[in-house]
Amino acid sequence: MNKKVPSLDSFYQLLKGKVFYNTDYQSWLIECMRQATLPIHPKFSLIINEFAISTFTVDKIQKIPEEIILDEFRDYKYSTQLLDQIPIKYILNHVETFQKGEAYKAIYSDMLAVSANLFPELFEVSSFLIQEGKDMDMLWDMETKKRKKNTKKIDLGQLRSVFSQHDTNHTLVIEVLSQLEYSHINDIEGYAKCMISVLLPLCLEGKLDFRVADSFISAWESLNNIIPHSLWVMTINTLTE
């Protein structure tokens, strides 16, 4: 934290003690967030919570205007579909393990609570078990690690062509399906849409070889850990067409 900014401990005590006279908490909190460094101060989430509560109970404390928050991110090139592309589980895993969990320790529980509220489908038991099984396999399966490292980019036309061979080249289709989850995050949504539009109707009609069908289901479950919202929208749209 910048040394020019008063300590978090001091302002937390002021907020908690309802000391509001001539104290510009809004500007101070914005400056704190701008200057924050790792590991995040253990009082940070407590101060934000206390500030949020105070905006509802104390006239002298106003919430931070949305325009100010947007200005902080205006120079970054985020797409309008960013939320659907963010691998929430992997971010949580990074936050939990980075620097042995110390870097984000102060805000991890809050991040977990917010994520569980916004993305409850990510926290179902079956989803955890599937991911845990994959993580354990990767500890021992060097071929899986090699596959993840060497996954090559494929265009959607090629992918659709591969899926069209579901009757004649089971091995190729299964291999490609097993690699989808290791693709670059920017490509996964397009791959998932192609996979669902081609293979889901065939699977429901019983026209897929059982090995290809099993691989399709496994790929869908893996992608559900990465782009859950987009995947469900694609699936529902395909089912209702």
Q: In this structure, how many other beta carbons lie within 10 angstroms of the beta carbon of residue 62?
A: 11
Q: What's the pLDDT at 11?
A: 80
> How far apart, in whole angstroms, are the C-alpha atoms of residue 91 and residue 97?
10
For CA atoms 216, 221, 225, 230, the dihedral sign is: positive
Q: What's the pLDDT at 199?
A: 95
Q: What's the pLDDT at 22?
A: 64
Check: CB of residue 231 under 8 Å from CB of residue 220. yes
Q: What's the pLDDT at 220?
A: 92
Domain boundaries, the chain: 8-73, 141-240
Check: CB of residue 215 under 8 Å from CB of residue 176. no
Question: For 72-86, what is each residue's pLDDT tens digit?
Answer: 766 665 554 555 556
Q: What is the DSSP string of 87-126?
A: -HHHHHHHHHHGGGGTTTHHHHHHHHHHHHHH-GGGG-HH
Q: What's the pLDDT at 87?
A: 67
Q: Which residues of the chain have pLDDT under 70?
A: 1-6, 20-23, 73-87, 121-152
Q: Which pair of tokens denotes residue 202?
A: 């065939």
Q: Which pair of tokens denotes residue 144?
A: 């899986």
Q: In this structure, how many other beta carbons lie within 10 angstroms of the beta carbon of residue 14?
A: 18
Q: What's the pLDDT at 217?
A: 92
Q: What's the pLDDT at 203?
A: 92
Question: For 93-143, what is each residue's pLDDT tens digit?
Answer: 788 888 888 888 888 888 888 777 777 766 665 555 555 555 555 554 555
